[in-house]
Structure 1
Amino acid sequence: MTQSLEVRHHEADAPCRDDLVLDVDSDRLHEECGVFGVYDHPDAAALTALGLHALQHRGQEAAGIVSFDGARFHSERRMGLVGDNFSRLDVIERLPGPSAIGHTRYSTTGGNILRNVQPLFAELETGGFAACHNGNLTNGLTLRRRLIADGAIYQATSDTEVILHLVARSRRNRFVDRFIDALGQIEGGYAFVGMTNKKLIGARDPLGIRPLVIGELDGKFILTSETVALDIIGARFVREVENGEVVVIDERGLESIKPFPARRKRPCIFEYVYFARPDSIVDGKNVYGMRKRIGAILAEESNVPADVIVPVPDSGVPAAIGYAQASGLPYELGIIRNHYVGRTFIQPTQSVRDQGVRMKHSANRAVIEGQRLVLVDDSIVRGTTSRKIVRMMRDAGAKEVHFRIASPPIKYPDYYGIDMPDQEKLLAAHMSIDEMRDYLGVDSLAFISIDGLYRALGEPSRNAAQPQFTDHYFTGDYPTTITDLVGEGAKQLSLLAEAS
Structure 2
Amino acid sequence: MSDDIKHECGLAFIRLRKPFSYYLQKYGTVLYGLNKLYLLMEKQHNRGQDGAGMAAVKLNVEPGYPFLHRIRSVAPQSIADLFATIGKEVAELEKFQPTIKQHPGLLKGHLPFLGELLLGHLRYGTQGKNNADFCHPFIRREVIPARNLALAGNFNLVNTEELYKHIGFDPGTFSKQSDLAAMLEVIHHFLVKADTENPEKLNLGCVLKEAASLFDGGYTIGGLIGNGDSFVLRDANGIRPAYYYIDDEVIVAGSERAAIRTTFNVGENEVHELMPGNALIVEAHGEYRVEQVLDVKERRACSFERIYFSRGSDEKIYRERIALGYHLSKAVLEAVSYNLKDTIFSYIPNTAEIAYYGMCKGMEDYLNQIKVQRILSWGSDVTEEKLATMINRKIRQEKIAIKDVKLRTFITEDSNRNEMVQHVYDITYGTVRRGEDTLVVIDDSIVRGTTLKESIVKMLSRLSPKKIIVVSSAPQIRYPDCYGIDMSKLGDFIAFRAAVELLKETGQEMLLQDLYQKCLQLQQCNKLHLENVVRQVYKPFTTEEISGKIAQLITPEDIDFPVEVIYQTIEDLHASCPTNTGDWYFTGNYPTAGGNKVVNKAFINYMEGSNSRGY
TM-score normalised to structure 1 length: 0.84
- Tell me the percent identity: 23
- Rg comparison, structure with higher value: 2
Taking the aligned partners of 2:73 and 2:396, their CA distance within structure 1 comes to 44
Structure 1 residues 490 and 145, CA gap change in structure 2 (3 angstroms): farther
Conserved? CA contact 2:344–2:438, under 8 Å? yes
Structure 2 stretches lacking a partner, 5+ long: 21-31, 62-66, 91-110, 196-201, 365-394, 499-545, 556-561, 607-611
Structure 1 residues 406 and 482, CA gap change in structure 2 (3 angstroms): same
**What's 1:34 paired with?**
10
Q: 2:68 aligns with which of 68, 73, 77?
A: 73
Conserved? CA contact 1:144–1:162, under 8 Å? yes
Taking the aligned partners of 2:258 and 2:422, their CA distance within structure 1 comes to 31
Structure 1 residues 134 and 422, CA gap change in structure 2 (3 angstroms): same
Q: 2:348 aligns with which of 303, 312, 322?
A: 312
| Equivalent residue letter for 2:282 | I
Taking the aligned partners of 1:54 and 1:90, their CA distance within structure 2 comes to 23
Taking the aligned partners of 1:490 and 1:322, their CA distance within structure 2 comes to 40
Structure 1 residues 458 and 181, CA gap change in structure 2 (3 angstroms): closer
**What's 1:44 paired with?**
33
| 1:402-435 deviation line (CA, Å, top 9, x unaligned) | 1111111111111111111411221111312211
Taking the aligned partners of 1:217 and 1:165, their CA distance within structure 2 comes to 33
Q: 2:222 aligns with which of 193, 199, 202?
A: 193
Taking the aligned partners of 1:397 and 1:36, their CA distance within structure 2 comes to 48
**What's 1:450 paired with?**
570
Q: Structure 1 residue 179: deviation in Å?
A: 3.0
| Equivalent residue letter for 2:419 | Q
Conserved? CA contact 2:261–2:271, under 8 Å? no
Q: 2:157 aligns with which of 112, 130, 137?
A: 137
Conserved? CA contact 1:133–1:192, under 8 Å? yes
| 1:339-380 deviation line (CA, Å, top 9, x unaligned) | x538x7644554442234445321112324533210100111
| 1:438-497 deviation line (CA, Å, top 9, x unaligned) | 2222532110111111122258xxxxxxxx7111111111110118636451669xxxx8
Q: 2:587 aligns with which of 475, 478, 483?
A: 475
Alignment of 1:81-480 (within 5 A): 81-88=77-84, 89-90=87-88, 95-124=113-142, 126-144=146-164, 150-153=169-172, 155-156=174-175, 157-170=177-190, 171-173=193-195, 174=202, 176=204, 177-197=206-226, 198-216=228-246, 219-236=249-266, 237-250=270-283, 251-280=285-314, 286-303=316-333, 304=336, 305=339, 306-328=342-364, 329-338=395-404, 341=406, 346-347=410-411, 349-368=413-432, 370=434, 371-387=437-453, 388-431=455-498, 432-441=546-555, 442-458=562-578, 469-480=581-592
**SS at 1:365's partner residue?**
coil
**SS at 1:31's partner residue?**
coil
Q: Structure 1 residue 397: deviation in Å?
A: 3.1
Greater shift, 366-375 or 348-357, is seen at 348-357
Greater shift, 161-170 or 25-34, is seen at 25-34
Q: Structure 1 residue 399: deviation in Å?
A: 3.1
Q: Structure 1 residue 235: deviation in Å?
A: 4.4
Structure 1 stretches lacking a partner, 5+ long: 1-24, 460-467
Q: Structure 1 residue 331: deviation in Å?
A: 2.6
Structure 1 residues 361 and 231, CA gap change in structure 2 (3 angstroms): farther
Q: Structure 1 residue 180: deviation in Å?
A: 2.7
Conserved? CA contact 1:31–1:106, under 8 Å? yes
Greater shift, 409-418 or 105-114, is seen at 105-114
| Equivalent residue letter for 1:415 | C
Conserved? CA contact 2:209–2:294, under 8 Å? no
How many residue pairs get matched?
455
Conserved? CA contact 1:377–1:404, under 8 Å? yes
Conserved? CA contact 2:239–2:300, under 8 Å? yes
**SS at 2:73's partner residue?**
strand
**SS at 1:191's partner residue?**
strand
| Equivalent residue letter for 1:114 | A
**SS at 2:426's partner residue?**
strand
| 1:282-335 deviation line (CA, Å, top 9, x unaligned) | xxxx11211111101011233223521110022211111111121132332111
Taking the aligned partners of 2:331 and 2:300, their CA distance within structure 1 comes to 25
Taking the aligned partners of 1:218 and 1:252, their CA distance within structure 2 comes to 10
| Equivalent residue letter for 2:163 | L
Structure 1 residues 318 and 421, CA gap change in structure 2 (3 angstroms): same
**What's 1:465 paired with?**
none
| Equivalent residue letter for 2:406 | V
Q: Structure 1 residue 242: deviation in Å?
A: 0.4
| Equivalent residue letter for 1:138 | V
Taking the aligned partners of 1:360 and 1:175, their CA distance within structure 2 comes to 54
Conserved? CA contact 2:303–2:577, under 8 Å? no
**SS at 2:251's partner residue?**
strand
Q: Structure 1 residue 138: deviation in Å?
A: 1.9
**SS at 1:169's partner residue?**
helix
Structure 1 residues 202 and 172, CA gap change in structure 2 (3 angstroms): same
Taking the aligned partners of 1:369 and 1:194, their CA distance within structure 2 comes to 58
Taking the aligned partners of 1:224 and 1:113, their CA distance within structure 2 comes to 24
Taking the aligned partners of 1:491 and 1:254, their CA distance within structure 2 comes to 46
Structure 1 residues 291 and 48, CA gap change in structure 2 (3 angstroms): same
| Equivalent residue letter for 2:430 | A
Conserved? CA contact 1:152–1:165, under 8 Å? no
Structure 1 residues 365 and 301, CA gap change in structure 2 (3 angstroms): same
Taking the aligned partners of 2:360 and 2:588, their CA distance within structure 1 comes to 31
Taking the aligned partners of 2:58 and 2:458, their CA distance within structure 1 comes to 56
Structure 1 residues 145 and 391, CA gap change in structure 2 (3 angstroms): farther
| Equivalent residue letter for 1:244 | G
Conserved? CA contact 2:476–2:586, under 8 Å? yes
Taking the aligned partners of 1:154 and 1:74, their CA distance within structure 2 comes to 25
**Higher share of residues assigned helix:** 2
Taking the aligned partners of 1:214 and 1:206, their CA distance within structure 2 comes to 17
Conserved? CA contact 1:58–1:104, under 8 Å? yes
Taking the aligned partners of 1:96 and 1:223, their CA distance within structure 2 comes to 19
**What's 1:16 paired with?**
none
